[in-house]
Amino acid sequence: MKKQYKTYQETEQYLQHVVSQHPNLFKLQSIGSTHEQREIMLITASFDVEKAESKPALLYTGTIHAREWIGNELAVKFIEYIVDNHEYNPELINILSRNTLYMVPCLNPDGFEYSMKHFSFWRKNRRLNHDGTYGVDLNRNFSVGFPGSKNTSSNVYSGPQPFSEPETQAIKQFVDSHQNITIALDYHSQGNVFFPAHKFNHEAEHEGTDLNMLCANMARKIYKVTGRKYGIHRGKPPTNLIGGSGREYYYSRGILATVVEVGTRNIPDYMQNMTQSINENIPAVQYALGEAINYSTHAPKRVTELNILKIESKSATLTWTYEEDEDIYFEIYRNTKNKQACTESNLVGITHAQEFTDIELDSGTMYFYYIRAVHRLSNIKSPFATKIRLKTLLDHNEFSRVLFPGKSNVGYVGQYTGEQNRQHFGHNSLFIGINQSKGICTGVLEFSLDNIPENAVIKFARASLYPMNRVAAKIEQFGDWSISFLEQDNVADITNFEDIEQAESIETLGQTVPSDALTQGIWSHWTFSAHECRILESNLAKRSVLFRIDGPKTLPLGRDSQMMQFDIGYGKFGGGIHYRPHLEVIYTVPETEVVLSPTRLCSLSKKGVVENELLSGFSENDGKTYGYIEFNLYSLPNPEETVITEAFICLQNKNTPPSDRDICFNLEFVDMNAISYSDIRNRTNIEYVGYEATTQDLVRKQKQYFIFDKYSQLTLEEKHESNEAAAFVIRATSESESYAKLIDWHEAGHKNEVKLVVKYIKRRKKPTAAVTELKASNENGRMKLTWANPPTKAFVGTYVVRNRFRPPRSPYDGVKLYAGSDNYTYDSFGSSKISKYYAAFSYDDVPNYSEPQVIHYEAHQSTAEKPSN
């Protein structure tokens, strides 16, 4: 197998040959030499290569860890790809005309050769340490976050001081002297995941959106080739973030930098796995190279003042400010999941304006928005604006809940871990799959349904898990992971492996997830079908629902692990409230129906008003005649808590017009203090209710139903809220008013033949009062927030969010810090050295969210103040 991989000498010889054949396209140089006096080779690729330094550039480094051969192998294959396609591929031609590639196939030549010829698992370089041991982990030897480890035998020994090694000195000197580098890719194995750079805090930064989108779009290119999904994981609290790596050093120099972890083994089967990894990453590297110019001084400025102007149930409006430039337009991308690619498929708007309304959205749904400025002549794009996250409002008849399992209701049970299984609940990650030490491991999730009414009608449900590590899933394209409903009545103990493993599975949620579709650092979601929503409804009477998470239950010969690790939010390795498994539910409740009889009905014509009759049509002597109906709405409940879900007026025609006469009858709202023929006749504002009834309708059936549309329902609610009667007229229309025909809609003494049917649910329409006295103070480096909750009966809790860039207009636009009925919380992972906004939203049981109370914390202050706007 090793013979299929190129040695360092073979790589060097190949690069020399390429340069000799294409001197205007490639240039080869040594940027330094190693302890064993091997040259560290860097190849430059660009059209008119002598001018390469004048173009924006991508830096590629590979095999900084000796046993991770993919970096060197992919570099060679990418150079081959350029050689074969630079004359014919229009995309590659455009990229090489505008950008430069700096490629170091192997940054650790000594370690790489030692790994190939002596000990394949070798990781470090070949420095002879003072105590006779060998090697420094070059990816811990950079200055940013230098760990300063002392154990020279450790695989992650960082060296005596930063840049103590000739390899890291060489790449540092090259990067420092090439200001045109805008993007850096550092290729490693294993994990099928991107690890973008960070700044050793857990605060957002503008470049964070750029990094996630760079990785997401590269991941999309990979997926198009093999269908494999790569994760994106920047690190999360309370994880100790890796220090001393090249990635963070490049990032500190203003370069977008990410590690790319490829495959599931350091040295995989070349023909079966390595070729796949190479083929899927070639278009990804090409994409990243093409992006270099978009992060250079040639690019338009980033949109920096992106805000939410308005959120409705079916639409959202964004606004931003930008220096006026007739050559600039804006691309708006919309995603329904975080860290999804921004491509043509989700480009929802192109505009020169500085406002955009996105329409036809789903209610109660999370959306992520990204914006770039684009120069219309050069087509160079700006970096991304900091993403906006929002959730559309619920529809008028909807409620929502996000359910979390308690600590004792989430964990995993292992085949061989016996009594330890009880300790796996609320204190450890979810390990799902199989390995040699634990055996089969199965996850358990139990959610209380106490916050959802037993008679709820579930419209939408989705279960979500956060994959935090897939390194132990070592086998490509082997096994599936799934979530299923369990028959909980037969489970005596959820911490017992046999009870869970042998429990009856009622239904598996959606599709199983194959191993190559499992990601790390990106939420996995299982959306319920309509049938699965009915199963969830059947559990409402039991007040809880139990799920089992299954993975592979066997291992191929010679393999020791196929295990995924999911976060539970609790315990030593838990990421807190942001990473807990959860179940989202949107539901409604059964309607109540009330039938209203009219309080007044009459006919209006030139001759005047005739009470207690209901005629409409055309009279030979009096011209057009209108029918008038009035309903008192007092019998409907409290308008603040009544949502009309359906309404219609039922009329019965006592006679019919001739079938050859084309007459239509409309039911219309009227809003008038005094009712007279002239008032009705001369109206300018006409509001139709439902569809018209035609001559054919009246001939075919005697009962006519005028069903209220959405606008008519809202008008009816407005009448209810203002304690007004609801008044309507029946108006006949025809191309000619010469037809002498009146339709009788009412028989004297039978008012119940005319009726208004209203269906409604009890639900608050408006949010409760906002919180007051929001304050933030720095307590020993940790931010404490306090506020006063509104003293209203409808108040349920307060939702607190942090946003570094703008005052949050949505409770979802930022990092959630707290949701509950207390009046204080701590920002445990925010930095007191970074300015930011905090917002608090009160909410009721729908939930409807109040307008935010916002304060701005300045890093040099000990307390925060309300922003001046």
* Among the listed residues 386, 355, 353, the one whose alpha carbon sits nearest the alpha carbon of residue 369: 386
Q: Is 81 helix (H, G, I), strand (E, B) or coil?
A: helix
Cα 135 from Cα 114, distance rounded (Å): 11
Catalytic annotation present for 446: no
CA atoms within 13 A on the CB side of 817: 28
Cβ-contact 752, 598 below 8 angstroms: no
* Among the listed residues 779, 770, 792, 778, the one whose alpha carbon sits nearest the alpha carbon of residue 839: 770
* Among the listed residues 231, 264, 573, 577, the one whose alpha carbon sits nearest the alpha carbon of residue 430: 573
Rounded to an integer, what is the distance from CA 181 to the centroid of its chain? 30
Which residues fall within 8 angstroms of residue 820, CB to CB, at 6 or more apart?
A: 797, 798
Written as one letter, the residue type at 37 is Q
Can you read off the two tokens belonging to residue 407?
A: 């600590």
830-833: Cβ within 8 A, 24+ apart: 830/202, 830/203, 830/783, 830/802, 831/201, 831/202, 831/203, 832/778, 832/781, 832/782, 832/783, 832/859, 833/859
Cβ-contact 461, 587 below 8 angstroms: no
* Among the listed residues 602, 684, 597, 582, the one whose alpha carbon sits nearest the alpha carbon of residue 634: 597
Of these residues, 113, 261, 584, 717, which one is catalytic? 261
* Among the listed residues 185, 206, 212, the one whose alpha carbon sits nearest the alpha carbon of residue 342: 212
Rg over CA atoms, the chain? 34
Cα 60 from Cα 66, distance rounded (Å): 16
Cα 61 from Cα 74, distance rounded (Å): 10
Q: In sequence order, what DSSP letters do the residues of 499-529 get, joined into one string? A: HHHTSPEEEE-SS-EEGGG--SSS-EEEEPP
Cα 502 from Cα 486, distance rounded (Å): 10
Cβ-contact 186, 259 below 8 angstroms: yes
* Among the listed residues 445, 412, 402, the one whose alpha carbon sits nearest the alpha carbon of residue 546: 445
* Among the listed residues 265, 246, 242, 244, the one whose alpha carbon sits nearest the alpha carbon of residue 255: 246
Cα 572 from Cα 567, distance rounded (Å): 11
SS (H, E, C) 448-504: ECCCCCCCCEEEEEEEEEEEEECCCECCCCCCEEEEEEECHHHCCCCCCHHHHHCCC
| Adjacent-strand bridge partners of 270 | none
Rounded to an integer, what is the distance from CA 433 to the centroid of its chain? 26
* Among the listed residues 273, 288, 290, the one whose alpha carbon sits nearest the alpha carbon of residue 95: 290
- Cis link prior to 238 (omega < 30° from 0)? yes
Q: Is 655 helix (H, G, I), strand (E, B) or coil?
A: coil
SS (H, E, C) 692-741: CEEHHHHHHCCEEEEECCHHHHHHHHHHHHCCCCEEEEEEEEECCCCCCE
Q: Annotated active-site positions, please?
A: 261
